[in-house]
Structure 1
Amino acid sequence: MIEMERIHHVSLAIRDLTRAHQFYAEKLKLKQITRPPFDSTGVWYSIGEGQQLHLLQHPAGETLRISGVDTTDGHFAVWVKSFEKTKQWLESVGIPYEARPNSVAGFAQIFILDPDHNIIEFDAPYLS
């Protein structure tokens, strides 16, 4: 049996590294970390203790979505401390979101799209 400990990283395809960096570093305030000198173009961020987000600039854009939030499509989720504070932050930086405070998932959910339509989910305890 494989003894898994945690997610190490999530990789997303992007079209424009500068535009993606503005979104992830400047709006979401993720901390950029050192990326090895691969032949591809990309940037890495820390998203928690020992967990990373890798953005890879895709030369042809073939793997990229063009539509809105579809929760049955590939996405990654981050657990956050506060549903309301996360919504407030997103509003303060002008990021549209789809909120599901009473989701049947067993916790509240907020969905956003990055500039390349990658879906990001923020999960939090139900509001009390």
Structure 2
Amino acid sequence: MAKAIQINHVALVVSNLEKACEFYEHELGLEPIPAFLFDYPTAFFKINEDQQLHLTEWEDVFSFRGHICLQVDDINTIFWRMKELGIIDIKPWGNVRQLPDGPIQMFVRDPSGNLIELSSSPETKIDPNIFEDELFKAGIYVSGRNDFRGYKSKDATLYHKKK
């Protein structure tokens, strides 16, 4: 059977392409790359050699919990900057947290309201002040739904690198 092998790109709908481009380029350090000659507003960004982020401007309705996760190279700096911007959103998935395998995760809203999860690698040294911040809460997110369906493990991780 054929199978998917990697994510090539993620496309996000934005309400203002210019503001979104400024956010992804200047706040998250993504590199703009040429997009096809579409007849609608769009911008492509290079995440790494294999993955891209595509932004396209439409008047669509945005998801409250749906998100993409971007691993960042300096979660400490990003945390303080996102807090300064006031765009950390704890409503859909709770506070900034440290996952059981070590990474910090937080959720922010881009200028169009798209939810973006930002995560560190498991080996990252975390600024101890983050653990004292009012936006941080220890432990994984608990919804209170008590519905335990799905594929779960105490050894779960966001990072499945080849060894």
The interval holding the TM-score normalised by the smaller chain is 0.7 to 0.9
Identity, % of aligned positions? 28
Q: Identify the match of residue 61 of structure 2 among 63, 72, 81.
A: 63
Q: Map residues 57-96 of structure 1 onto 2, 5 A cutoff.
A: 57-58=57-58, 61-65=59-63, 70=64, 73-91=65-83, 94=85, 96=87
Runs of 4+ in 1 over 6 A off after TM superposition: none
TM-score, structure 1 as length reference = 0.75
- Per the TM alignment, residue 112 of structure 1 is displaced from its structure 2 partner at its CA by 0.6
Distance 1:116 1:64 in 2: 8
Unaligned runs of 5+ in 1: none
- CA RMSD of superposed structures (Å): 2.5
Q: Map residues 1-128 of structure 1 onto 2, 5 A cutoff.
A: 1-58=1-58, 61-65=59-63, 70=64, 73-91=65-83, 94=85, 96-98=87-89, 100-103=96-99, 107-124=103-120, 125=122
Unaligned runs of 5+ in 2: 90-94, 127-163
Aligned residues: 119
Distance 1:49 1:107 in 2: 23
Query: Relative contact order, CA 8 A, sep 6+: which one is greater?
Result: 1
TM-score, structure 2 as length reference = 0.61
Q: What amino acid does structure 2 have at the position aligned with 1:41?
A: P
Alpha-carbon spacing, 1:24–1:85, altered in 2? closer, same or farther (3 Å)? same
Q: Which has the higher strand share?
A: 1
